[in-house]
Amino acid sequence: MTELIDLSEVAGQAGKFDCFLEQVRDRFGFDHVAYLGSNPVAGTMHGYVTYPEEWKRHYTHQAYHLIDPTLRIAQRSIAPIDWSRIEQSDNFRLVFCAAREFGISDRGVTIPVRGPFGDTGMLSVTRDTDEHEWRAMIAHSIGDLQSIAVHMHDAVMNSDAFSNVLRRTPLSSREIEILQWTAAGKTQQDIADILNISHRTVEVHLRSAREKLFSLTTAQAIARAIAQHLIYPI
Amino acid sequence: MTELIDLSEVAGQAGKFDCFLEQVRDRFGFDHVAYLGSNPVAGTMHGYVTYPEEWKRHYTHQAYHLIDPTLRIAQRSIAPIDWSRIEQSDNFRLVFCAAREFGISDRGVTIPVRGPFGDTGMLSVTRDTDEHEWRAMIAHSIGDLQSIAVHMHDAVMNSDAFSNVLRRTPLSSREIEILQWTAAGKTQQDIADILNISHRTVEVHLRSAREKLFSLTTAQAIARAIAQHLIYPI
DNA sequence: TCGCGAGTACGGGATTTCCCGAATATCGGC
DNA sequence: GCCGATATTCGGGAAATCCCGTACTCGCGA
Answer yes or no: is pLDDT of B16 > 50: yes
Mean pLDDT for all residues in chain A: 85
Provide the mean pLDDT of chain B: 85
CATH class of B3-163: alpha beta
B:169-208 residues touching chain A, CB 8 A cutoff: 182-187
Footprint of strand C on the protein (CB under 7 A): A 187-189, 199-200, 203-204, 206-207, 210, 216-218; B 170, 172-175, 192, 195, 197-198, 200-201, 203-205, 208, 217
How many residue contacts between A and B have a Cβ separation below 8 Å? 132
Residue B44 φ then ψ, to 5°? -125, 165
Residue B2 is predicted with a pLDDT of 36
Architecture of domain A3-161 in this structure:
2-Layer Sandwich (3.30)
Length B68 CA → C6 C1' (Å): 43
The conformational region for residue A228 under phi > 0 = left, psi -120 to 50 = alpha, else beta, is: alpha
Q: Can you give the pLDDT at residue A163?
A: 52
The string of DSSP codes covering chain A is --EEEEGGGSSSTTHHHHHHHHHHHHHHT-SEEEEEEEETTTTEEEEEE-S-HHHHHHHHHTTGGGT-HHHHHHHH-SS-EEGGGS---HHHHHHHHHHHHTT--S-EEEEEEE-TTS-EEEEEEE----HHHHHHHHHHHHHHHHHHHHHHHHHHIIIIITTTTT------HHHHHHHHHHHTT--HHHHHHHHTS-HHHHHHHHHHHHHHTT-SSHHHHHHHHHHTTSS---
Asked whether the predicted pLDDT for residue A143 surpasses 60, the reply is: yes
Partner-chain residue, chosen from A147, A183, A215, that has the shortest CB–CB distance to B220: A183
pLDDT exceeds 50 at position A97: yes
pLDDT at residue A13 greater than cutoff 70: no
Q: Show residues of chain B in contact with A76, CB under 8 Å.
A: 116
A233 touches chain B (CB under 8 A): yes
Nearest DNA or RNA nucleotide to B212 (CA to C1'): C6
A209 in reach of chain B (CB within 8 A): no
A229 contacts B233 by C-beta, under 8 angstroms: no
DSSP state of B66: G
Asked if the Cβ–Cβ distance from B226 to A226 is below 8 Å, we say yes
State whether B232 and A80 contact (CB < 8 Å). Answer: no
CB contact under 8 A, A219 and B218: yes
The domain ranges of chain A are 3-161, 173-227
Note every long-range contact of B131-139, with CB atoms under 8 Å and residues 24 or more positions apart, other chains counting: B134/B107, B137/B28, B137/B29, B137/B30, B138/B82, B138/B109
What's chain A's length in residues? 234
Lowest mean pLDDT among B30-34, B92-96, B149-153, B188-192: B92-96
Residues 6+ apart with CB under 8 A from B207: none
Q: Does B101 touch chain A (CB under 8 A)?
A: no
| Residue B26, burial from CB neighbour count under 10 angstroms (0-12, 13-18, 19+) | exposed
Mean pLDDT of A139-154: 92
Pick the most confident of A89-103, B37-51, B181-195.
Answer: B181-195
Neighbours of B22 (CB within 10 A): 14
**Taking 70 as the threshold, does the pLDDT of residue A43 lie above it?**
no
Q: HSE-up of B12 (CA within 13 Å, CB side)?
A: 11
Spatial separation of the C-alpha atoms in residues A147 and A126, rounded to whole Å: 17
Local structure of residue B230 (DSSP, 8 states)? S
Rounded CA–C1' distance between B219 and C7, in angstroms: 23
Say yes or no for a CB contact (<8 Å) between A215 and B185.
yes
Q: CA B229 from chain center: how many Å?
A: 14
Topology (CATH) of B173-227 = Arc Repressor Mutant, subunit A (1.10.10)
Q: How far apart are CA A123 and CA A71, in angstroms?
A: 10
d(CA A128, CA A102): 12
Phi, psi of B49 (to 5 degrees): -145, 160
* Backbone region of residue B24 per phi and psi (left: phi > 0; alpha: psi in -120 to 50; beta: other values): alpha
